[in-house]
């Protein structure tokens, strides 16, 4: 009866839906600055993929496209920190440039930006007795990363080692050693922030003696 119990448990669990709270699905306390320089404060809900921001002020919801926005910030309680977003001009294709939303992960001589998207995927459901007992759907947040240099041009990062080292080529050797010594990944958000922060320290001459210590 044990395999049947686990099978029933998984079917019940996933039929209820595995719910995880994603920041794009909830309202956050925040501030929105419009292109007109008007500053609005209230509860904010954002859609990076759709380049839309909603703000609830006194139970009245106002919606703005990225073309009407300069900047907004929120306190994300799912991450327990403030997050900052800008509407910046970007070539969405070879011949068309428009303002879209980016989150600023690190700001410096070389800045690291991000766009996120909530996707649905189908994955196998495992039980105690069987390798797989079917499939279920779940949601997962995926990220696209971008670099913004002093020229003001925003370029998408492919999340490949070769691409990263090329973009950080002024100190390519130091970056390779830093990544290796700290066991960092080229496609991890937290690791990319550390890498870009270190690169900016090298650019400004703020080299840390203990960087390569384990």
Same domain for 28 and 106, yes or no, is yes
How many domains is the chain partitioned into structurally? Answer: 2
**For 12-21, 106-115, 136-145, which range has the lowest pLDDT when averaged over its residues?**
12-21
Q: State both tokens at 49.
A: 């993929």
The SS3 call for residue 74 is strand
Half-sphere exposure of 59 (CA within 13 A, CB side): 0
**pLDDT score, position 16:** 42
> Burial level of 209, CB count in 10 A (0-12/13-18/19+)?
exposed
| Residue-averaged pLDDT of the chain | 85
Same domain for 92 and 195, yes or no, is no
Q: Domain boundary at 142, 157, 172, which?
A: 157
> Burial level of 121, CB count in 10 A (0-12/13-18/19+)?
exposed
Same domain for 85 and 140, yes or no, is yes
Same domain for 190 and 110, yes or no, is no
Same domain for 64 and 80, yes or no, is yes
Same domain for 42 and 61, yes or no, is yes
- For the entire predicted model, the pTM comes to 0.81
Q: pLDDT for 13-47, tens place per residue? A: 444 444 567 888 899 999 999 999 999 999 999 99
Per-residue pLDDT at 9 exceeds 60: no
Same domain for 133 and 74, yes or no, is yes
Same domain for 189 and 141, yes or no, is no
Per-residue pLDDT at 175 exceeds 60: yes
Q: Where do the H-state alpha helices sit in 133-171?
A: 161-167
Per-residue pLDDT at 198 exceeds 90: yes
Same domain for 146 and 168, yes or no, is no
CB 114: neighbour CB atoms within 10 A? 20
Residue 154 to residues 77, 118, 147, 169, 210, Cα–Cα distance (Å):
29, 22, 6, 17, 32
Residue 75 belongs to what domain range?
2-157
Report the candidate in 165, 63, 147, 164 with the shortest Cα–Cα distance to residue 102.
Answer: 147
Same domain for 200 and 127, yes or no, is no
């Amino acid at each position: 009866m044990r395999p049947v119990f686990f099978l029933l448990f998984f079917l019940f669990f996933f039929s209820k839906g595995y719910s995880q709270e994603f920041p794009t699905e909830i309202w956050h306390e925040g501030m929105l600055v419009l292109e007109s320089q008007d500053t609005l404060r209230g509860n904010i809900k954002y859609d990076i993929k759709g380049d839309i921001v909603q703000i609830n002020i006194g139970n009245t919801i106002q919606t703005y496209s990225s073309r009407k926005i300069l900047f907004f910030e929120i306190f994300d309680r799912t991450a327990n920190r403030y997050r900052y977003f800008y509407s910046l001009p970007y070539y969405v294709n070879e011949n068309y440039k428009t303002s879209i939303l980016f989150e600023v992960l690190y700001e410096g001589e070389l800045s690291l930006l991000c766009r996120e998207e909530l996707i649905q995927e189908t994955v196998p459901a495992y039980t105690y007795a069987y390798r797989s007992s079917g499939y279920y759907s779940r949601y997962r947040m995926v990220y696209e990363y971008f670099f913004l240099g002093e020229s003001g041009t925003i370029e998408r990062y492919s999340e490949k080692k070769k691409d990263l080292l090329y973009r950080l080529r002024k100190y390519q050797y130091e970056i390779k050693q830093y990544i290796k010594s700290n066991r960092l990944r080229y496609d991890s958000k937290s690791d990319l922030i550390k890498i870009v922060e270190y690169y900016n320290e090298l650019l400004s001459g703020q080299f840390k003696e203990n960087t390569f210590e384990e």
